[in-house]
Amino acid sequence: MASPVTDGLAGVGLLGRGLALIARRPRLFLLGALPPLVTSTLFVVVLVLLATRGDAVVGAMTGFADGWSAGLAAAVRVLVSLGLLGGVVLLMVISFTTLTLTLGAPLYDLISEFVDRELPAPPTPPEDGWVSSLGRGLRQSVGLIAVSAGCAVALFAAGFVPLVGQLAVPVVSALVGGWLLGIELVGSALERRGVLTLRGRRELMRRRRFRVLGLCVPTFLLLAVPFVGVVVFPVATAAGTLLARQLVGESTTDSQPPRSAG
């Protein structure tokens, strides 16, 4: 059994393998970049609004400290700012991912199916109407956003804990955000293998949690950078399909020669 470090590094390596696979289909890569371009623009607008009004928001939330000494009041506002930042980043990246996958679902399904075709034994999708699939996907997306919102509130509260909060909030935010992102990234590939529930995905992911985090934490951090997601998202979709195959014990050895770009 691989050590946690080895498994984590193998997860990181899936991003490179995903890039190598999607690079064989430049047009598919460019199509996959369109939804995150749209959602990145929307989220940059939100970030600008938060940045320009952040001081006012923090000031309103820490009005109770107005009568305190300047040093103590400033320390409280810094703690609140850090907790708020960690929670907002977590919520925004998961919301960005969910919205992007919803807008570009057919495109990301194509990318995932392409990766499966490039590897041995592509699965036969289960008989499932698109209405049922869409409804299930929307319910699951709302559930994941609700979970991320709850985690964001918890991280905000943790930011009030001196020192520990400042050290823990960024780390926990990346770990939780990466895990929730992983649930999204393996969704399409696992659905084609009959794993239709979030619980089913989580059970498979727990078996290789370090590999999941090795892929998904760096991806989460990259997606937190505005417009980087335009490039990362198609690659992460391909990497998520590779991860899904590994979770169910399928081969990810590329036995086919590269095809001509198109």
Render pLDDT for 31-56 as a digit per residue (tens, 0 to 9).
Answer: 999 999 998 898 888 888 877 877 77
Residues 6+ apart with CB under 8 A from 11: 210, 211, 212, 213, 214, 215, 216, 243
In the chain, the amino acid numbered 182 is G
Task: Answer for the pair 155, 210: CB distance below 8 angstroms, yes or no.
Answer: no
Dist CA 246 CA 252 (whole Å): 7
Is residue 4 predicted with pLDDT exceeding 80? yes
Q: What is the mean pLDDT of the chain?
A: 85
Q: Does residue 128 register a pLDDT over 70?
A: no
Tokens found for residue 7: 């498994």
Q: Which of 7-16, 24-33, 118-127 has the lowest mean pLDDT?
A: 118-127
Q: What is the pTM of this model?
A: 0.83
Question: Each residue of 70-103: pLDDT tens digit?
Answer: 788 888 787 777 777 777 777 888 888 888 888 8
Could you tell me which residue, 127 or 68, shows the higher pLDDT? 68
pLDDT at 178: 93
- Nearest CA to 148 out of 86, 206, 204 is that of 86
In sequence order, what are the residues at sequence separation of 6 or more whose Cβ sits closer than 8 angstroms to the Cβ of residue 113?
Answer: 122, 192
Do 13 and 225 contact (CB within 8 A), yes or no?
A: no
- What kind and span of H or E run contains 258? none
* pLDDT at site 37: 92
